[in-house]
Structure 1
Amino acid sequence: MSSPEASPPSLYAAREPIFPRRVKGKFRTAKWWIMAFTLGIYYLTPWIRWDRGPNLPDQAVLVDLANRRFFFFMIEIWPHEFYFVAGLLIMAGLGLFLFTSAAGRVWCGYACPQTVWTDLFILVERWVEGDRNARIRLHRQKWNGEKLRKYGLKWTVWFLIALATGGAWIFYFTDAPTLLRDLLAFEAHPVAWITMLILTLTTFAFGGFAREQICIYACPWPRIQAAMMDEDTITIAYRDWRGEPRGKQSVAGNGDCIDCMACVNVCPMGIDIRNGQQLACITCGLCIDACDDTMDRIGKPRGLIDYIALTDETRERQGGAPIPVWKHVLRPRTILYTALWTGVGVALVVALFLRSAIDVNVTPVRNPTYVVLSDGTIRNTYDIRLRNMQGEPRWFDFSVAADAPLNVAIEGVEGARIEVPANETAHVRLYLTAAPGSTAAEAPRSEVQIWIEGEAVPGAGSPAGDRVARNTVFNGKGG
């Protein structure tokens, strides 16, 4: 009787919780300052006021989905101007390529929201439970009063931070003080509650429990970054030619590394940088701070773990000096990224200052292309969509420029002048007519320009107002 086949080994490894040790140093200090700066921007921006007049919201940064507009201080973006948002996204991508090409995953290590909130949650965990060894002991001990109390307090603070995070996000989409009053009175729209709940739970789970798992498994950037890096990219590395073999300094022939595991114990990703560059490394620099502190205590030079490039490693192994940092940064790839980033930025600024406060769309009516009135006059009809992008009601005058004289009339009004309310769109039916026997009436097609001039608004635009033109055609009898 044959024995049953042995089951294949599992390829799944259970997650080992990571308890980073507290560390001091220049990179840790930089991370604290960046955390305070980025969180300050995120939480406080919706409360900044900006006076735009009586007909517009006074929130400095507002994504007004109801009225389909985006406000950023003095800038107002309409849906048809989405190219501004697309340009900003392109700049963000190019900036990420630039920083990664120059200094590896510095975005991941210092400014990524997952990193920032994970750092904040770990800080709370350390305040409540103690440093690394105390947290490990608490994690391993059985559930009792102490563990319930500390975990309960930690999770409560985490949840409050997550709740503030979800709440801050929805404040960007409506007037923040009004929404806060509605939330406190339990009168907010269900969409606000649902959005805040989803963001609260995801922040609580990602920052408190998933942590490095998001960076390793969920984020695509670790897989993409390899294409952005080359041998001159500055990243964190271990100088094994100086540190090996590891061991006590009292043993002759040992390197500078005493195998104290400080670099591993402070790593938020739980990796050992001495094993070489790894996908999980976010180049946060905490291992550098820990190693430098150890080198200071044993009287060895700093820099056993440091930001270096692959070309520096080759030179240092041969006894040469490292290449200056500016030569690593200023190279063809980074210069190209900088030029592209700057070009897109300049184009957006130019487009922003050259845009008109009038948005016009002219559509000739094709069925029929023209009509002959009882007196022989030829009339063409045009559907016009006119958007007033100012915060005040405005009068708009219509005129036409053509080689042959044409008359202008607007359906439902006297003359060729209409008023459009502030921040609204008017749909206008415009008529162009040519006298019997005129050049435009007899020609098959005539090129024309329809001009729209907006009345000046005090304090907005030039004193003469805005003026735009749209090219179209006038269809005649062709005979």
Structure 2
Amino acid sequence: MVALDISHARRRPLPQADAPVRAPAAPSAPRRKADAPRPGGPVTPQSVKGRFRRIKWTSLAFCLAVYGLLPFLRWDRGPDAPGQAVLFDFVKGRLYVFFIEIWPQELYYLTGLLILASLVLILLNAVAGRVWCGFLCPQTVWTDLFLAVERAIEGDRRERLRKREAGLGPRRIAELAAKHAAWLAIATWTGAGLVLYFGDAPQTLRDLMAGEASALAYAWVAIIAGLTYLLAGFAREQVCTFMCPWPRLQGAIWDPEALTVNYRDYRGEPRGSAKKAEQLRAAGEPAGDCVDCLQCVTVCPIGIDIREGPNFACINCGLCVDACDGVMTKLNRPTGLIAYESWTNIERGRRREPQSRRVIRPKTLGLAAAALALAGGMGVALAQRTAGSLTVLHDRNPTAVRLSDGRVRNGYTLRLVNKDRRARTFAIAVTGGGDVALALIGSQTVEAEGDATVEVRATLTGAGAASGPVVFEARDLSGAARFQAADTFMAAP
């Protein structure tokens, strides 16, 4: 049995029933003033070095580079077509992503993409918990960037805490002004970067800098900049804990086999200083490897104590792993006291049982298969789609009328979508429905401009009184395309 908590820095004793091999914990060493938690205050994490910190720096640089440079990538789509690789064109109602062009009628592709993203996120959770939150989530990336600026200007954790308690002075005011100016510059760049995805990036950037962009563009820059400044500068861990719905879903999808950040309490307890541990071991008494240095707490961007057990607020960033490994290395003790480990193995370790990792298991295989199947289906659908479509809307009131000569007539609205960038001329024909004659209101051919939708009225007139299926066909006179749509010829009452 495991209880998962979402509180911040609240200590509770580990359940003795789950850990029969552990002796009672030794009293914790007194916290120094700079290490003590600040109730109600912001979490102030300490910098740390290690492999997971390097991975986070790499992911931060990658995400920021993609976000800032992607709008400037070019993609040749031919004449009279936008040359931006990724573009959300609201004017024409198009979404361009490299060689893919999505029309408003094809928003089901975006729905499929959202479902695919959800499947991948759940798969990542089954493999390594909230690893997305720790390394790739935009909130984490921008918060890391804001924290890096804060450290560069104000110093590391101890110095920042000391300066907060010392009050305001000329130097402190100058530091705060420099920090917030840098934050606002980053936030403004973030807002402007998002606007570049909705218009030609070089031209939009020139218009923004020259003050010639639309009021709507400046409004969105201000909105995104304000949100970035607020969430990454002030809300920080509150977003990851309380505002984001993902930790709330952990109760339903938490997997004890996932490789999440965990504390090997069967090895670390009872806690005590290095000197005290040596004395206990020399006397033949149990002593754990944890020296209660609180490094795992001070480096945590969420402000939790991973030694208390699984916590929904943990974003699996691994910084506490780096901090603990550094302390263990200095003490010439084995690393891995805090590590990416499954909770199942933690319980096996308490019982002194052999441990095994099951990353590949039915759950992960099923999620991976579902994600691959959905991605493959979307890929096939994209590959097989045509450069246009034909839909038919049957008149509803009345569905059919009887003419004075006894024949039956049905009315239809044909909607022809030409996704090609050049104009096309289509001939309309109909099959099925018995002996029926097709007539178009106006010209007997349909002229469709490039990147346009055209509607035309059509009638079917037949001598028979029976209902039956009919198939309308729009054929490009150049022979390049042919679209079909099925409907019904209705008998008159």
TM-score in same-fold range (> 0.5): yes
| Deviation, structure 1 residue 367 | 4.5
Q: Secondary structure at the match of 1:396?
A: strand
One-letter amino acid matched to 2:364:
T
Cα distance in 2 for partners of 1:373, 1:320 equals 88
Cα distance in 2 for partners of 1:432, 1:330 equals 60
Q: Which residue of 2 aligns with 1:263?
A: 296
Gaps of 5+ in 1: 1-12, 434-439, 457-463
Cα distance in 2 for partners of 1:454, 1:26 equals 60
Q: Give CA-to-partner distance per residue, 1:125-182, whole Å, 9 cap, x none.
A: 1111111222112222221111111111111111111011111111112222222122
Q: Give CA-to-partner distance per residue, 1:185-243, whole Å, 9 cap, x none.
A: 21211111111101101101111111111112211211111211222122111112211
Cα distance in 1 for partners of 2:108, 2:317 equals 34
CA RMSD of aligned residues (A): 2.0
Does 1:308 find its partner at 2:341?
Answer: yes
Aligned mate of 2:103, from 75, 78, 85: 78
Aligned mate of 2:48, from 15, 23, 29: 23
Q: Secondary structure at the match of 1:172?
A: helix
Q: Which residue of 2 aligns with 1:137?
A: 162
Does 1:197 find its partner at 2:229?
Answer: no
Q: Secondary structure at the match of 1:193?
A: helix
**404 and 233 in structure 1: CA distance in 2 versus 1, 3 angstrom threshold:** same
Q: Which residue of 2 aligns with 1:188?
A: 213
Does 1:153 find its partner at 2:186?
Answer: no
Q: Which residue of 1 aligns with 2:67?
A: 42
| Deviation, structure 1 residue 477 | 6.1
| Deviation, structure 1 residue 376 | 7.0
Cα distance in 2 for partners of 1:429, 1:238 equals 71
Cα distance in 2 for partners of 1:419, 1:24 equals 66
Q: Which residue of 1 aligns with 2:26?
A: none
Contact 1:47 1:59 in 2 (8 A): yes
Does 1:95 find its partner at 2:110?
Answer: no
Cα distance in 2 for partners of 1:289, 1:199 equals 33
Cα distance in 1 for partners of 2:471, 2:124 equals 48
Aligned mate of 1:418, from 446, 459, 468: 446
Does 1:448 find its partner at 2:470?
Answer: yes
Cα distance in 2 for partners of 1:395, 1:105 equals 54
Q: Secondary structure at the match of 1:34?
A: helix
Contact 1:128 1:154 in 2 (8 A): yes
The more displaced of 245-254 and 364-373 is 364-373
Cα distance in 2 for partners of 1:447, 1:248 equals 85
Aligned mate of 1:427, from 426, 430, 455: 455
Does 1:468 find its partner at 2:483?
Answer: yes
Q: Secondary structure at the match of 1:307?
A: strand
Aligned mate of 1:175, from 169, 192, 200: 200
Contact 1:264 1:273 in 2 (8 A): yes
Cα distance in 1 for partners of 2:129, 2:492 equals 68
Contact 1:53 1:391 in 2 (8 A): no
Cα distance in 2 for partners of 1:32, 1:218 equals 25
One-letter amino acid matched to 1:188:
A
Aligned mate of 2:244, from 219, 228, 245: 219
**369 and 231 in structure 1: CA distance in 2 versus 1, 3 angstrom threshold:** closer
**210 and 405 in structure 1: CA distance in 2 versus 1, 3 angstrom threshold:** same
Work out the percentage of aligned pairs sharing the same amino acid. Answer: 43
Q: Give CA-to-partner distance per residue, 1:22-55, whole Å, 9 cap, x none.
A: 1111111111111111111111111111122223
Does 1:363 find its partner at 2:396?
Answer: no
Contact 1:62 1:173 in 2 (8 A): yes
Does 1:397 find its partner at 2:427?
Answer: yes
Cα distance in 1 for partners of 2:341, 2:477 equals 61
Cα distance in 2 for partners of 1:368, 1:133 equals 80
| Deviation, structure 1 residue 364 | 2.5
One-letter amino acid matched to 2:301:
P
Contact 1:400 1:450 in 2 (8 A): yes
**14 and 261 in structure 1: CA distance in 2 versus 1, 3 angstrom threshold:** closer
Cα distance in 2 for partners of 1:354, 1:405 equals 33
Q: Secondary structure at the match of 2:255?
A: coil
| Deviation, structure 1 residue 411 | 1.9
Q: Secondary structure at the match of 2:446?
A: strand
Cα distance in 2 for partners of 1:39, 1:228 equals 30
Gaps of 5+ in 2: 1-37, 281-286
Contact 1:266 1:287 in 2 (8 A): yes
Contact 1:358 1:454 in 2 (8 A): no
Contact 1:385 1:425 in 2 (8 A): yes
Aligned mate of 2:268, from 243, 265, 268: 243
Q: Which residue of 2 aligns with 1:5?
A: none
How many matched pairs?
448
One-letter amino acid matched to 1:309:
S
| Deviation, structure 1 residue 375 | 7.4
Q: Secondary structure at the match of 2:256?
A: coil
| Deviation, structure 1 residue 420 | 0.5
| Deviation, structure 1 residue 382 | 1.7
Q: Give CA-to-partner distance per residue, 1:434-465, whole Å, 9 cap, x none.
A: xxxxxx41333232211112355xxxxxxx42
Q: Which residue of 1 aligns with 2:142?
A: 117
**472 and 303 in structure 1: CA distance in 2 versus 1, 3 angstrom threshold:** same
